[in-house]
Structure 1
Amino acid sequence: MLKSLYKKAFDIRDGEITISFFMQLYIFLVITVLLIVKPTVNALFLSALGAERLPYGYLLVAAVAILSSYFYNKALKRYSFKKVATITLCAFGFFFILLSVALHYKFLEVWLLYYYYVLISLFAVVVTSQFWILANMVYNAREAKRLFGFIGSGAIAGGIFGGYLTTLISAAFGNKTSILIAGILILCCVPILYRIWNLRLRTLSMYTRKKEIHQVSNPDRNAFQIILKSKHLLYLASIIGISVLVAKLVDFQFSDFAHKAIPDSDELASFLGFWFSSFNVVALLIQLFVTNRVLSYLGVTSTMLILPLGIALGSLLFLTVPELWVLIIIKGLDGSFKQSINKAAAELSILPIPYAIKNQAKSFIDIVVDSVATGIAGFLLIFVIKGMELDTKFVTILTIFFLFIWLLLIYKLRDAYFDSFRSNLKSLLLTKDESKRNFRKERTIATARHILQNGEESEILTLLSRLSSARLNPLKKQIVALLDHPSNAIKIAAIEELYYYKEGTALHKIKALLHTSDSALIIATLQYLLHHTKIDDQELFTTYLDHPEKPIANAALLCLAQDARLNTNLGKQFNLRDRIATQIERLGTPEGLENVAKTSDLLLSIAYSGLNEFYYFISIHFSNKNKKVAKKAIEAAGITTDPLFVGNLLQFLENKKLRKAAIKSLTQYGPEITKTLLRLENEDAFSLDIKRNLPKVIATFNSQNAVKILFKFLGSNNLIVRKNASKSLLKLSSKNPSLTIDKRKISRYILLESDYYKNTLNALATFTKLVNNSPADSQEGAKETEILLAREAIVLILREQVDQSLYSIFTLLSIRYNREDISAAFLGIKSNDDTARINAIEFLDNLLHIKLKNKILPLLEVHIIDTDVNNLHSQEMVEQTEFDAVRSLIRNRSRQMNIAMLHLIEILEDTKYIAITQSFTKHKNTNIAKLATRVSTSLQRVKQQQK
């Protein structure tokens, strides 16, 4: 029960409870110790030396921290992280016990107070920094985002417990007992550290473990240089430094006023312990009930604004009312928000930095930057406030000045933070572009020559298609040589390439190609002679229109039709109408209909001629049994751009064999056809197959009507229609940015597609669970095997639909946001690399608006990160019965899914499915209707037998 409550409340997943408990216990003890020793030592320091000596303590902390940081990094290079952390914990425990002994024997020299003041400051940064480095080793970025809040609540709880414990023990037994307890508690962290190490880090592969430990323990570069080279780290380090500086200024004022009001050291320790604990109570409440919501709503960098804005308001109030209670409020804001909202945001703000760099930089920021900022605060207090003999109220002026810089740095961090995610994600996917870069490198003249001379047919055709339209003289010899190539396709491509060279290039070789059996090559040859030589056009038509070789005569007729389209006099001069009529009469005979080449050429000639009196010949051959002729008829219809053929071409979208030809022909009509298509769509005149393929046609038209049609298709119940519509809309928006595309509508369709994606994941989880729970050795025999196979078939269909729906979501996101960013995120999510997938989701978390990311990211985490759809971690998902899944899937899904569902129902022989099957007996698709009738009849029979 308790385990289930923890999992639900804190989104802790299977296998994470134990490790998270020990991590939380670790930081709980660390902060408990800190809240015991810090107020105790501060109280001793203030009582013995006064608040005016605090700035000297700040300077000493900075100097010692920089020096100790050098030796600390040396130790990390030489020893393992675990060993260094163990020695650190034991050393601090030993020193705290020594302080307890010194207090017991009242051996408190001035130098010892300074020593322990510095020691406590180092403890605060070193041990907590070690914990968060360990946390980065234990958890990946997505786990960290879910669990750092839970673990952080342990730190705040430790602050509450430690503060109140200090108040009680100091009042009852004195400071020496408090410090002794602190020393014992910090030593208890050592076995916890070893337990954490054994639970998580030893279960990693040896390679991974060595890699992660090396990244933490053996940095190759100087951390300071790394931070200077990264805008993100530089801004982050500056923000941390400024926040520490402001905290020290606030702490000085608070300590100064508190000491003046409470001079007794034990009473002051009790007072400080009480308020520090109270601040942590507020911090715990914020952490449990506010932090995650604020982070989700505002994002990381905007959340970081809350703390400086709160302190700024408190500082302005103090300038008006300089009282201790105002300083308690300011200190409370710093103490509560810093350990909850601001702490979570600061830890998350470093997530996009690569792993090794992050750990090295974090150690430097936590120890050196923190301490240097403390020293700067001390310098300012000594030489500005005290040196100029200013009242402590002027500290508030300094605080407000640094708060302004803090806010400015957060603004700068916002862009750097997002850029880091982008560059980190793209660097992980860089290898995917290596083949493209290598292709570009190989596209040299020497390589092109080699391909043209020795390449395979596909390689030569690809190269010719990619050659620039500029004249490449170094390749002229090789291109001319291709006119002798055995492949006619290569010869045609070579002729087309020779248009970019001098008029009449290779004339004799090309002219010789007329005498071939390939009509496409003859046409290409005649077109070259007509349009790229000095030979008189009339001479050519006179020579070849009545040529004894019929393929040449037919090709000449086609060329005449093409030229006559722009020059009607040319058509009249050579009797184009009569020639076409004669050809139709000849090919109208049974023998003529069997001549594929002549019929194909004539269909194109009619189309180019624009003589609509002969268009009936095109219509006739739509139903030609020979698919080559039928495709030519479809091509011819597109060339005419006559509205007469639009209906026929749309119907051909249902035919797989003729679909490509129909799409190509419809695109010939241009944007004007969109008006017709929009009218037909409003009349619901399109079948499902037409809707599926129309977006490809519409994508070629740059018009607002095309956008309207595609938006209508985005609302389709069919997944393939939506997928193709989103793809076409993206193509259209990229090609013509001036088109108006309503981003709010796009967001609505993304949310709708996300609902479909979620429902598909739910169904996939249900059927995957049923398949996995099927007994290995079934006692039922053949029937159970049939049920298992039927469910496995459904799982395969659902996996395909999940992928298609995901593609649609990201295609729509590409319209809504920057296309390159979304493309990089999609590649990251589809990558086999765990780090790339995690970074992609983090990237989207920072890119998407709150409504979209709250809808999409939980689903991606279940599907992409967890991979096991049985783990319904997301609150967006719900478990369902097989009956609910079948009822949901059989409606508004593909024909393939309908058939698979009916097949499963038939095998299950469960009469509760009768109503579902009866509703499909009148389905538009005859195959589904027949199957539903058969299944319904079978279930009725079963029902009668049960009676």
Structure 2
Amino acid sequence: MSSSISKTYRSFLDKMTEDKKEYRKVFLLFAYLFFVVSASTIGRTAADTLFLSRFDNSYLSLMYLPQALVMITAGIVFQRFSPKVRLETLLKLMIPLISTFVLISRFGVGLELRWVFPVIYIGYDVFNFLMIVCFWQFATSVMDQRKAKQMIGLVGSGGIMGGILSGFGLKVLVPLVGTANLIYVYAGLQLLGLVVVFVILAMTKDLGDSKPAQARKAASKSSSVQQKGGLFANVPHLKYVAILAAALVVSLTLIDYQFKVILRGTLQNEALAGFMGSFYGFSGLIALGVQLFVSGRVITRFGVMTALLIFPIALFAGSLGILVLPVLAMAVVVKGSDKVVGDTIYSSVSQLVMFPVPPEWRNKAKGFLDGIVRNGAKGLAAICLLLVTRFVAPEKLSYIVLVLLVVGIFAGIKVKKAYLTTLLSNLKTGGDDLQKVELNLMDSVTRQILIDALNGSDKGQALYAFGLLKETSSFDLTPHLDSLLRHSIPEMRLETLAYVEMKVPEGFEPILQEQIASEHVQVRAKAIIALSAYAEEDYVDEITVHLDDPSVEVQAATIAGLVKYYSIEGMFRAVGKLKDMMESGHEEERIAMAALFGQIRVKNFYKPLISLLQDNSPLVRIRALESAAILHVPPLLVPIIGMLKDSKTRRYAIDALAAYDEDDVLLQLAPYLEQQEISLYLPAVFERMGTQRAMDMLFACYEAAPYALRDRILESLQRMSKQLLQPDSSKVEAYIFQELTLYAQFAEHGACVVGVDDYAEIEKMIDEIRTAITRRVFLLLALLKDGQTMQAVFLDWSEGDSRQQANAEEVIDQTLQGTLRTEMAKFMAGSRKLPKVAASKVELNLHLSWLAEQGDEWLTPTIQYHTLRKSETVVNAELADLMHRVQLLRRVSLFQGLTSRDLSVIAKRLHKMTAEQGNLIIKEGDPGDSLMLIDEGRAGIYRNKQLLGELNLGDCFGEMAILTNSARTATIKAEENMVLWRLDSSVFYDMMFDQTSIAVEMMKLLSRRLRSELERGQGKGQASVVEQVEEQAGDQGQALVEGQGEVQEQVQEQGEDGNEAARSELVLAQAEAAAASLQEPQAATELTRDEVILRRILVLQKIDLFAHLGPNDFMWLAQMVEEVAYEPGEAICRAGDFGDTMYGIIEGSIRVHRGSEEFALLGEGAFFGEMAIIDSGPRSADCTAKDSAVLLQLHRDLVLSFCFQNIDVLRSMMRVIADRLRGMI
């Protein structure tokens, strides 16, 4: 027993030490909420007392309607306009403003201005509403979301304490200062809350992290499918909950009126204020006791549905009492039940009944209840009071209350069946988010459902139920552990063993010993760690034996168990094996050791990871990075940051850095933003962290960043802004003005080289730089306005015809305001061509000097090269050689469209080689893995020993091979001694992974060439079809319709011979076959969560763009894509629209048409818009849902960011596009 207490105490101390900063924040938030609720109680008491002391009952009934209307209006206005202002700015302005109004109202009260009392009666309620809403938004924004669930209760208790102490404090304050002077206290408490806000902001150094993290999370999880049917169809019990809620709100409004009327007839002025203070204090104190000691037990004992009825039944009994005995004591009991029962038991249950609602409907359901039902009911109650109180005595209102409560109780009884139906449905699907709600709030029926699923044979349901139950403090899993450890599903045993390791329940050692003898290697390994967690000396020898187990995984688990749980003795026993495995020549053993430190989770035991992070094996480094992400100790930051340079480990290094607390990692990252070899990859780290502080820090680097880094920064900021983060709008505008000035300066200084042959290369580079500046301007605008709109404007203005350009300028003119609008209008109306200006030699040199000083890593050496060459000065040989290679690369059709800067990057990766006359350079049939450029000499092209042609200076061969690694289709033989430049495929892909601009341009080039080939080989109508289905329908047919395989093969052979007509014919034939094969779609609610993911994967696997992805890649994509529902006749995309999204059909069918002319009908499993995610080209046909359809939706940003996190994915996508193009030319 003492051991258990000691362990718990030690755990508590460790947690306090680890979360010291977070607890400090929680304490401050506790104080902030304390002041807010105290102010609310005192302000409400003062307003009520002053009003009731001066107006009779008829005026009181009149106040409820305007009060309801003002509250609804205030809520709507706040919801609409508050997102446009940063929250900390809103608080800094709103709290002083409210305090000022409150103090002004005090002078009105002192002057006995009669109109002031109704105004403060309503106004103080609005102020209190705004203060509490802003508090919870602010609290969720500054708290660590990983710890919020555990600590939010501590924060909330500040409100309860505020209510209690302010209530009792009123009893003391009122005799001393008087009721009117409570207004000063009200204002003072609000200002104290503002002081706490400043302290929190100063402590967190996070002046911008002002958006609720929950909102960000919801935004990032927008992939939920919109199910068929309306809100009530998808939330069956909502209508009954709504009836109950409306009945209670109207009843409580009438009871509140009765309470105040009876109170006014009994007490006046200071006596009234003092009594109300005592009432709030005692009711709050009793409510705290009920919440802590009664609420959970009542709900656990009697269940959700019974608990749901306790509050309306209590109100019914109290109202009956008022009818019989209309005295103050009875009114206090009824009104107090609202605080004691309503704010505790009923509040908890009303949240719980929303738990089984699918996430895509939960917010809608809550919005319907809070925004429509409850506010509407308040308005209805106000009208009722206006009409009824003229003819009925206040106590007689209890008749109406009793009728309403009977209706509410009846609705509450009806909730049960519909609630269980929804709960069972959610358990079947597994739920898309594991929103853990304490199961002590669930009834016995619900618990039994989860227990049955736990012991069932369905893996998805069993794991889901286990995940819920293990997080529930009120549910004891111990009685079920015996059967779970012997569960038929290995994954269930693994989860149970992990739970046993964490909880260490008594008496399970013999079962763990049985599991150690299991044939399943992972179960054995996990069982050893679980047994080690008991830290009993009796088992140490038994565990140590497994250091010599044949399985490396078991050996690693044994080391983990000994080191983690047996302290110095365990370390002594394991250290020899640990050292041997770390220094082993076997990669498998070093991989196991790298993963080991993540299993041990001992932060002080991190030093061996440093050497593993520098291991020769990429797999070892990857596992070491995964362990580093778990430990996230500051000394590992430097080696992790170094891993960003390696394309194989970059993805895992970004994950590891994102796992650190931002206080630890952001300051460490700052110096690396100035290091060229690392800085380009850091925006991805800030993006993954996804906090306002990370965004602000990244954005702060923009001004000093080189141009290439600016592009990366803006791309990451653009994606971060989709998570509802916001940069400082004034800084965004300032940077736009800087970029516009820079654009004009490059035009001014570049004008002198226009038309000068010797400086033609510099002229091209200036054009490229100005184009990049233009793109950055629109990316900055996308941070201020809607991102998709700004992207469409940029594409229309930069690539569209005159009409599209005019439309783009009009959009900017209508969207922007002030100076920004004026400057952008001038920018877009001006010519994009460099003006030609004559300049003297001195002026030319001055202009060139300015251009060279801009720090562009390619423009500066280019100016140096051309200036020296023109002055006939000896040019640096290395620089001259680099310029020569760039010129050679310009002739390669594969690289058409790349900037000279991009070509210079490629040129630096070329490898020089020579070939003597008569030697073979490449041989027909050999694997192709490189591109060759001829610098000197001549070569012959042979196939079957027949000369087909010659290659000379500047020619190249192997363009497609560098992308596809396909077999050589001809032999190249040196006819003379030759000098060549070789670019290897692996080097090329590494370079593209580092230089995303090259990869994107390459993808666009190949995609556009493919579109061109399609249009050239097919009729205009057919091209529309094929382009819309992205030429993949031929591949889809094989998956959608049996028997198409032979036709597919035949047409591919014909396509290789140039017979594109057969290819077009197949597109239509297979589209028709797909339509014929449509079956009734399976309802989403009939699928388990695994099945939902599986059906996504099955659709994604049919997209040949993803043909080479591995299982983990498909799993990642399946979890990230969105499912979107379309009604019959609803348009998905229209001809001429710029596309940035592709679609896969899960359910239903899609018409591909232009106007009334139908080209194809695509069925389940088909996909379209594939090339849109590559080149954002215009859609060439309309796509409309023929019937109700559910589509997978992949955005361009998602796919491209996926590519640049995994080099294998990038290589796969490039290879597919190149293969498709190769088959057509």
Common fold, TM-score beyond 0.5?
no
Rg larger in structure? 1
**Higher helix fraction: Structure 1 or Structure 2?**
1
* TM-score band, normalised by shorter chain: 0.3 to 0.5
TM norm structure 1: 0.44
**Higher strand fraction: Structure 1 or Structure 2?**
2
TM norm structure 2: 0.35
